[in-house]
């Protein structure tokens, strides 16, 4: 059984959803307070959504200096699977674990709605169980979700297959419709949409399952 750690920062608010999603997929999930520094024995780490450290200064800017983040960086460097969802994605960009940055949405509105994602690359831990071109309905819930990076970075991540998910209909002004990116090795992934909120058709969509099942190491294409 995969053991997943869900990091909890002061201000995180999606940790229970992430934990429940992992458990639905048969994984064991435990909370890890942001001051902890021992990630031994884990198969994967999730940085959940929310407003870590109040999102003061910039989303993720203070969270990247939480003690747990050195351990997350070391875990990632050893090839451990790391997933940042929404605010967790912002933390990963601030920590330099995935390329680019997230800015305020185009139009300066908070967006909370379903979006259609298109799988662009299956070389990441989040998308290895999906197929290229597959469309997934997954909700977004953010104010600072507009992905940006410079031209050189964009060419590099496009060439390396690091753009894992794109929006079919760009909701927030993200560069190149980018919804999720990975590091070069594909073991660290960040995305703005919330796959942990798309686990059941009864609640709107179960399309998050294929992504999170990939992450916990199941070869389920739901």
Partner 1 sequence: MKFFVIVDVTLREGIADPEGATIERALPALGFSGITDVKAGKSFRMNVDADSEAAALEKATALAVRLLSNPVIENAVARIGN
- Contacts with partner 1 by CB under 8 A lie at 57-58, 61, 65, 93-94, 99-101, 103-108, 146, 148-151, 173
Q: Could you tell me how far CA 111 lies from the centroid of its own chain?
A: 17
Residue with smaller CB distance to partner 1, 155 or 221:
155
In the residue annotation, 112 being an active-site residue is answered as no
Residue number, 29 or 47, with CB nearest to partner 1: 47
> To the nearest whole angstrom, how small is the minimum distance from the Cβ of residue 91 to partner 1?
12
Of the pair 33, 65, the CB lying nearest partner 1 is at 65
Q: Could you tell me the smallest distance in angstroms from the CB atom of residue 44 to partner 1?
A: 25
**How many beta carbons lie within 10 A of that of residue 196, not counting itself?**
28
Spot the catalytic one: 14, 53, 142, 196.
196
- Nearer Cβ to partner 1, position 57 or 74? 57
Least Cα distance to 162 among 214, 115, 98 occurs for 98
CA dist 83 and 75 (Å) reads 12
Given 86, 94, 142, 149, the catalytic residue: 86
Measured from the CB atom, is 26 or 107 closer to partner 1?
A: 107
Q: How far is the CB of 28 from partner 1 (least distance, A)?
A: 35
At closest approach, how far in Å is the CB of 139 from partner 1? 22
State the minimum distance, in angstroms, from the CB of residue 53 to partner 1.
12
**Is 86 considered catalytic here?**
yes
The yes-or-no answer on residue 158 being catalytic is no
User: 3-state SS of the chain?
Assistant: CCEEEEEECCCECCHHHHHHHHHHCCCEEEEEECCCCCCCCCCEEEECCECHHHHCCCCCCCHHHCCHHHHHHHHHHCCCEEEEECHHHHHHHHCCCCCCEEECCCCCCCEEEEEEEEECCCCCCCCCCCCCCCEEEEEEEECCCEEECCHHHHHHHHHCCCEEEEECCCCCCCHHHEEEEECCCCCEEEECCCHHHCCEHHHCECCHHHHHHHHCCCCCCC
Catalytic residue positions, numbered: 86, 194, 196
């Amino acid at each position: 059984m995969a053991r997943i750690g869900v990091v909890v920062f002061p201000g995180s608010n999606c940790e229970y959803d992430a934990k429940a999603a992992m458990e639905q997929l048969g994984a064991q999930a435990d909370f890890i307070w942001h001051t902890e520094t021992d990630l031994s024995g884990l198969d994967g780490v999730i940085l959940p959504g929310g407003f870590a450290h109040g999102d003061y200064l910039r989303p993720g800017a203070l969270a990247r200096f939480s003690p747990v983040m050195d351990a997350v960086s070391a875990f990632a460097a050893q090839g451990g699977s790391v997933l940042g969802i929404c605010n967790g994605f912002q933390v990963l960009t601030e920590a330099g674990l995935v390329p680019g940055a997230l800015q305020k949405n185009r139009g300066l509105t908070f967006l909370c709605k379903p979006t259609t994602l298109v799988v662009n690359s299956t070389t990441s831990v989040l998308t290895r169980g999906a197929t290229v071109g597959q469309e997934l309905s997954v909700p977004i819930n953010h104010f600072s979700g507009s992905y940006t990076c410079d031209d050189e970075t964009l060419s590099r991540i496009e060439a390396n297959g690091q753009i894992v998910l794109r929006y079919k209909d760009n909701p927030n002004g993200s560069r190149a419709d980018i919804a999720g990116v990975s590091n070069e090795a594909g073991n660290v992934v960040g995305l703005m949409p919330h796959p942990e909120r798309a686990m059941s058709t009864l609640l709107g969509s179960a399309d998050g399952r294929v992504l999170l099942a990939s992450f916990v190491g199941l070869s389920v294409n739901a």
